[in-house]
Structure 1
Amino acid sequence: MSNSAQAHAHWYAAESHAGDAVRSVRLGRITAPTRRLALRWLRRQARRFADALDPDPYAPWAPACALRPASGDRYDAPAELRSWADNMREHDYALLRLADGLPYEFIVRDAPAWYGLVVRPLPR
């Protein structure tokens, strides 16, 4: 890599968090050489959280009738996480923010908790 390319190179930190009204917990973190790789990791995290919160009732590991639909919940964090993971327009917006040196954050709420996905450029 040339000196001019190194001078313009950025690294990006991507983190996933969850919490409630009392505390926050970091669930994962990576450092990536490109903003696209950092965002790709966040998309995988969003799908992983969604699948953990709302598993497929026909998953082979689930005993028959063990999982049932929840009703009456105003929040649907798994659906919002899946929607975000597939939203290319939102990812383009995140890439533009990162290219401008700004962080990007997506937060979704569930009744008792929240889940956050953050990516930011690291200082040079």
Structure 2
Amino acid sequence: MNPALTHPRWYAAESSAGDAARSVRLGRVVTPTRRLALRWLRRQARRLADALDPDPYAASWAPVHALHPVTGGPEPARRDAPAELRAWADGFREHDYALLRLADGLPYEFVARDALAWYGLVVRPLGR
């Protein structure tokens, strides 16, 4: 870690989404530690994943038996943004990498994409 950056610093975390035509900020928080910022981003990643592809067994907002798992034959290879967001939210190695970047004063960004849109998670240190 860079000794010049050991003073207290605040962090801004943002979630956003968009397509080829526009982008929308979904949420933003400012926290006193990088760990709190990453914790907020993990919750946002899970929230986005559940909104895009709800788990039929865990969706408390849907009436019983309203959702059913879909099974089918093999599909062409495509990106699955909800699966990428869930994997990122549960991936400790990637979080360790983000913490190291933030400790060095650098921003961290994760973007999940599917055929129609992108979903971004960004955390960055604020000015001194």
- What range is the shorter-chain TM-score in? 0.7 to 0.9
1:83 aligns with: 87
In the alignment, does 2:120 pair up with 1:121?
no
**Structure 1 unmatched ranges of 5 or more:** 1-6
1:15-55 deviation line (CA, Å, top 9, x unaligned)? 00000000010000000000000000000000000111110
Q: Secondary structure at the match of 1:25?
A: strand
Aligned residues: 118
Go from structure 1 to structure 2 and tell me whether the alpha carbon gap of 1:70 and 1:19 turns closer, same or farther (over 3 Å shift). farther
- 1:1-124 paired onto structure 2 within 5 Å: 8-58=7-57, 59-60=59-60, 61-62=62-63, 64=65, 66-67=67-68, 69=70, 72=75, 74-124=78-128
Percent pairwise identity: 74
Distance 2:88 2:8 in 1: 27
Alignment gaps of 5+ in structure 2? 1-5
The aligned amino acid for 1:19 is G
Alignment partners' CA distance in 1, 2:71 and 2:21: 25
Equivalent residue of 2:106, what SS? Answer: coil
Give the direction of change, closer, same or farther, for the CA distance of 1:70–1:120 in structure 2 (3 Å limit).
Answer: farther
Of the structure 1 ranges 58-67 and 34-43, higher mean CA displacement relative to structure 2 is found in: 58-67
Summarize the Cα distance change of 1:70–1:104 in structure 2 as closer, same or farther, 3 Å threshold.
Answer: farther
Q: Give the match's secondary structure for 1:8.
A: coil
TM-score (norm 1): 0.87
TM-score (norm 2): 0.84
Instruction: Show CA shifts across 1:81-112 (max 9, x none).
Output: 00000110100000000000000000010111
Deviation beyond 4 Å, 4+ runs, structure 1: 65-68
Task: Supply the RMSD in Å over aligned alpha carbons.
Answer: 1.8
